[in-house]
Amino acid sequence: MDLKTYLSERVARIDKALGIFLPAEDVLPASLHKAMRYSVFAGGKRIRPVLMMAACEAVGGEVEAVLPAACAMEMIHTYSLIHDDLPAMDDDDFRRGRPTSHKVFGEALAILAGDALLTEAFILLSHPDRGGRIDPGICRRVIRIIARAAGSQGMVGGQVVDMESEGRSIDLPTLEYIHTRKTGALILAAIQCGALIGGADDASFEALTRYGARAGLAFQVADDILDIVGEQDVLGKDIGSDQARGKATYPALLGLEESRRRARELRDMALEALEPLGPGAEPLRQIAHYIVDRSC
Amino acid sequence: MDLKTYLSERVARIDKALGIFLPAEDVLPASLHKAMRYSVFAGGKRIRPVLMMAACEAVGGEVEAVLPAACAMEMIHTYSLIHDDLPAMDDDDFRRGRPTSHKVFGEALAILAGDALLTEAFILLSHPDRGGRIDPGICRRVIRIIARAAGSQGMVGGQVVDMESEGRSIDLPTLEYIHTRKTGALILAAIQCGALIGGADDASFEALTRYGARAGLAFQVADDILDIVGEQDVLGKDIGSDQARGKATYPALLGLEESRRRARELRDMALEALEPLGPGAEPLRQIAHYIVDRSC
């Protein structure tokens, strides 16, 4: 398989589904729905939805069934970016080269657009013809996995500790606490939900959970490395923005070479976790390479 | 029944359950969990959870089963207050006589505490031993009702239109749009979820839906009146705060006497909706009186 073709086909399907699932721009209040769509369609790489679809595929599931949950995940990711960018938080004027939500719509509407996107995710997950079309027991588990990953002991918790650590020297366990929650939690949840919706048995679910935890951390180590060595385009952040902000990163704590070694190690451990799975897991294997190899 | 005793017994049960369901203050990140608890335990009247329990009771359901959803509702209400109070929004330093979240914890943590409370609601609603203990199909419907009521075409949508209307003269349909969404939607959702979890048949569900829509609007008309005529303690807002902010209110649009007439009319229509229900609906009847009578 060619990963580039695979990814662009997947991203197109996700973008199309997002366009259908999000309230239209002319639905009242139009300003709010415009702001929600502005950020959702701001050039995201859709890495979490792609991983969810790939995990579903890896256990022989029907990829179509996963689209609502995959889009819900992207809405949650987008809300977190809108709130992270706010003046009271990271105070970023640009993301992926476009003005951030509060620069375009004002701070109040940006806060509310984030709130609405988070809520919209759960509307979609519980919609009888969308996320709620699957078995209701699985639907409840999917909602729970996603909510926990996004919550106070998941993504938001990671964001809080990250914020509290700015400009302070932190140790490796704290850095891993931040990363496994701030980015890792949603990535792991995406993979677990893909597995569940795809009908994974317990062994496959466990294997994919191991893959998700390792790939999620690898993604963050690679992200930290790319923040230093360039490739602004790849991850959509400004080069050197972590350093400028005094944020702790793997290269700052471990050095560049040791960080690269660690990223490769995590990639190999992620690949190892996939061994019990068959050829359906090929996209997940290639994505693990894709995440890590450009930073190493 | 004595409504005061009834309410204080219910509030005590809700407060106890909230204390159990919310992550403890020493769970990491402690600052975040402290901020979440600070606002949840800031003297709220628990009107939505009480209504949910009363609706469950009205159809002969077991009140205990409704506690997780009732607490989830209160978490969502609390998150909305935290975000409403932010400098970029209403910029309120005090609520119910206590400093608002951003005054105590800073703006960034206040935003994140709101985000985390909204998310925590869905963690609780999908928890296998709490909100998810009920039939999974009902669980999915409850999540959907609550998410829609809180979302871009519910509470957040009402907040957006309210914000966009400040200082402008609006007509009655716009005012009703704001109120049915900003406060009415969660109140209606509370009653519908109480009915569903209590095992309501279709006819009772419809009757309670009518009650909820009318009582929700009555609550808001009464709130507008109390903003002018006093009783700061009753609804926890500063007297005259709507006027000071140039917010549209019923008394401003209709005059005080016509607003009172309308509140009484809505109360009577809410009571009428309860006619098919038996003595189990007595608390709901008394609450309709309680909501309206002090403003009239």
Q: How is residue B184 annotated by DSSP?
A: I
* Paired sense of beta strands B98-99 and B94-95, if any: antiparallel
**B contact test, residue of A119, A135, A139, A159 with most B CBs within 10 A:** A119
Chain A: closest CA distance from residue B104 (Å): 14
Strand partners, A98: A95
Residue of A nearest to B110 (CA): A88
**Cβ contact, residue pair A32, B160, below 8 Å:** yes
The Cβ of residue A143 has, within 10 Å, a number of other Cβ atoms equal to 29
Q: Which residues 251-280 in chain B show a CB within 8 A of chain A?
A: none
Least confident among A153-157, A241-245, A267-271: A241-245
Distance CA B187, CA B288 (A): 12
Strand partners, A95: A98
ipTM score over 0.90, yes or no = yes
Domains of chain B, start order? 3-293 (1.10.600.10)
- In this predicted structure, the answer to whether residue A243 has a pLDDT above a threshold of 80 is no
Confidence of residue A296 (pLDDT cuts 50, 70, 90): confident
Residue A1: its pLDDT value, please? 84
| A26 burial level (CB within 10 Å; 0-12, 13-18, 19+) | exposed
Distance CA B135, CA A238 (A): 48
Distance CA A8, CA B174 (A): 44
Interface membership of A188 toward B (CB under 8 Å): no
Which residues in chain B have their CB less than 8 angstroms from residue A132's CB?
Answer: 140, 144
Residue B179: its pLDDT value, please? 92
**Cβ contact, residue pair A119, B144, below 8 Å:** no
Q: Quick one: which of B198, B245, B242, B200 has its CA closest to B222?
A: B242
**Cβ contact, residue pair A109, B23, below 8 Å:** no
Interface membership of A23 toward B (CB under 8 Å): yes
- In this predicted structure, the answer to whether residue A284 has a pLDDT above a threshold of 60 is yes
Interface membership of B166 toward A (CB under 8 Å): no
Confidence of residue A71 (pLDDT cuts 50, 70, 90): very high
Contacts of A162 (CB under 8 A, 6+ apart): A178, A182, A247
Which residues in chain A have their CB less than 8 angstroms from residue B128's CB?
Answer: 140, 144
Distance CA B182, CA A207 (A): 45
CA B68 to chain centre: 15
| B207 burial level (CB within 10 Å; 0-12, 13-18, 19+) | buried
DSSP A67-134: HHHHHHHHHHHHHHHHHHHSTTTT--SEETTEE-HHHHH-HHHHHHHHHHHHHHHHHHHT-TTTGGGS
* A29 cis-preceded (ω within 30 degrees of 0): yes
**B contact test, residue of A123, A142, A177 with most B CBs within 10 A:** A123
Distance CA B21, CA B67 (A): 10
Chain A: closest CA distance from residue B19 (Å): 16
Helix (H, G, I), strand (E, B) or coil at B99: strand
Residue of B nearest to A112 (CA): B156
pLDDT tens by residue, chain B, 296 residues: 899 999 999 999 999 999 999 999 999 999 999 999 999 999 999 999 999 999 999 999 999 999 999 999 999 999 999 999 999 999 999 999 999 999 999 999 999 999 999 999 999 999 999 999 999 999 999 999 999 999 999 999 999 999 999 888 899 999 999 999 999 999 999 999 999 999 999 999 999 999 999 999 999 999 999 988 875 444 455 556 666 667 788 998 999 999 999 999 999 999 999 999 999 999 999 999 999 998 88
Contacts of B236 (CB under 8 A, 6+ apart): B43, B44, B45, B95, B96
Q: pTM value?
A: 0.95
Least confident among A107-111, A164-168, A278-282: A164-168
Facing residue for A152 by CB, picked from B23, B86, B177: B23
Kindly state the tokens that stand for A209: 């959970």
Chains A and B: how many Cβ contacts under 8 Å?
160
